[in-house]
Structure 1
Amino acid sequence: MHDIRAIRETPEAFDAALARRGVAPTAATVLEIDAARRAAIGQAETEKAAQNAASKQVGAAKAKGDEAEFERLRALVAEKKAELARLDEVARAKDAELTALLATLPNLPLATVPDGADEADNVELHRWGSPRDFDFAPKEHFEIAGIARDMDFALAAKLSGSRFVVLRGAVARVHRALAQFMTDLHVDHHGLTEVNSPVLVRDEAMFGTGQLPKFAEDSYQTTNGWWLIPTSEVTLTNFAAGEVLDGAALPVRFCAHTLCFRSEAGSAGRDTTGMLRQHQFEKVEMVSITRPEDSLAEHDRMTRCAEEVLEALELPYRTIALCTGDMGFGAQKTHDIEVWLPGQTAYREISSVSTCGDFQARRMNARFRPEPGAKPDFVHTLNGSGVAVGRCLIAVLENGQTAEGGVELPAALHRYLGGKTRITSEGALA
């Protein structure tokens, strides 16, 4: 949500920032609604003062026995009361209209974010690792002999439809090991607090992180009104909703391994084979809540936390800065990390790390007190994948595949697999 005072003070700057995100000028419309709302509030205050004054005079007229003046003043009080009710309703309607409009406007990009229309304009920051030289044509994950039998899309389709998968045996165990490895790394080495949080949330939680109202079609809602989370960013960030945190306790850093659910409404026809883009998937999410002055440094820190997952798993990757046209709705700056997939001969997104400034905090009224007795200010919120478990599984399988159809597994996973180091071409751990 945007600060209406900032829009009043610098409407041209607000429109210029929105234009960088491809959004038409909006400040004039916002300020027109705001002016009508403030005018109604001001008129209501005037009417209230007149009503109070007339109310006091009613008693005096009655005491004097001036029946005509008494009736006139009583009628005036009734008139003012009715007008006050009308103005209050106008103010409430304009306030709702203003909130609804502001709720659909994306966050403003930081000055350092590169301009651009789409992913073609993103800027590569650095690369780590070198793609492996294969002496055979590498396959995609679902084509590897030791994996194909136990990565069952047909069975999942029978149960649930398209964009689901059933994992069995060794591949299911490696998937579980990856999630545990990531969580342990973030807790033991990165200092995040592990959380087990719900996957069903209320409207308010989805609104607070920006999924509602604009992106309702991208999520699933139950018949009794709960929403299935698209990521545990929703739950973890909303821990601060409606709170005034102790500034001395910031930053707070969380991670959670959860199921995630997305309708993929805008991705028809994209990545329809394999398990790259699923309706149900697992992710280890990171969320930080910081003081405003610390959020950019925290963004870099969180990016490194995600990068270190891939480095530990010996997976080549590149980190890019998203341009203004490719950033998510609530972000003011985003780094994407793309892992190398030899089966596609391409880098594909495996983590997205964003700082949202006070955009989410304003929506959920999440504040902190800089020091005892000081006026509360809005916190800054950040979120990032640390990382997507299914996509990480794809990368491990494709980068470690052998000519015989097996997979050599990264050393970091061996202790999570009882000392096993590979998946054979028959699909067994060995």
Structure 2
Amino acid sequence: MTAQNTTAATPAAKTSAQSKALTPIAWKFPITYTILALVSLIFFGLIGRDGETTFRIATSGDLFAIPDVVVSSTVAGLILSLILVVMAATSVYLALKRITLAAWFPMVFGILFVVSFLAWAGGGSGGVIPLTTLLAGALALSVPLIFGAMCGLVGERSGIINIAIEGQLLAGAFLAAVVASVVKNPYAGLLAAPIAGALVAVILTFFAVKYWVNQIIIGVVLNVLVVGVTSFLYSTVLTEDPELWNARQKLPDLPIPLLSDIPILGRVLFDQNILVYIMYVVVIALQIFVFRSKWGLRMRAVGEHPKAADTVGIKVNFTRVRNTLLAGAIAGLGGAFFTVGSGLAFGKEMSAGQGYIALAAMILGKWNPKGALLAALLFGFSKSLGNTLQSIGTPVANELLLMLPYIVTVLAVAGFVGRVRPPASSGVPYVK
């Protein structure tokens, strides 16, 4: 009996081994890790910069004090670079064995590379890297990106491509600033912002669902339209009486007792205004509802196979319109962060392309709320990193630092996303 089982299992085992051997080796990530490890070893380790770098962890008012970490720029860069080289070699070995890397691997690799870069950047002049300020800035700069990515996710999961996120962010910022200024209350502006985003979504769905206009084209047109309308109103109305129409109104910070006093994470996560806390709720709610609710099931059904959804009684176009309006409201909230969320007056084109980066975050996150959140945080961190390095003074050119978030966006989408499959019927009008 045992011999028969062994004999029967042998062909299956051979077939499995042959199938595994025929699987192409994925070289993209090992090559990327190897290049980054060599860059770190050569520039941050072997060449390096003389001097020390101080990593400031704690801030005044923390629950307990954590001393600064002072490292030699060259030594730290060399040690971290050697670890990166070992990790890159490991990735090559696993690729040859056709073993998929664990999810934590790229995150750890990225963190070590960034720390190595920071140790190099702070050297020479005795630079101080304020970690809490760096992370807090990253979260703040990520807020509109996260709202925008969630907007695009809900729309595309429903079958509507929303290129108009940029316009929805800008419209939300404009209406939030105007309403908050007139009412003299930032919370009024916060309530008005999602209305602006939803109004842009009304135009998008009207042409995309009723008249089957190409959704990418109508999205681009809407972005141009919102830029034109807000710029015109800014020049003709807001600038004539800024105290009435465009005065600064800022949402107050609402620190959570005890949690806000935790070093690093407390200041970053739990000492924020209500808009940031709403962002937490939106991401968590979407992560649950998209995959574990009847609403999410219907949304994914009309985005993947609308005809099948229609046959079981789901109103495809109604579902698409309703969800796209909800998505527009989410983007409007993200736009509010530019004005009432940051305490700034409205300015022309102040969204500055954040809607397109939010789309990239959604794609990098593979239409998953959790993935889109991490991608948006990556882009926000890259921009905050550029701002921090400018403030401490580094040998990196200012122009390159300003380009950093866009370079990261291009590299992430082109190099790390690979082949991704959007919802099958995204951008395809449904005709019953």
TM-score between the two structures when normalised by the length of structure 1: 0.21
Structure with bigger helix share is: 2
- Identify, as 1 or 2, the structure richer in strand: 1
Structure exhibiting the larger radius of gyration computed from Cα positions: 1
Point out which structure has higher relative CO (alpha carbons under 8 A, 6+ apart): 2
> What TM-score do the two structures reach when normalised by structure 2?
0.21
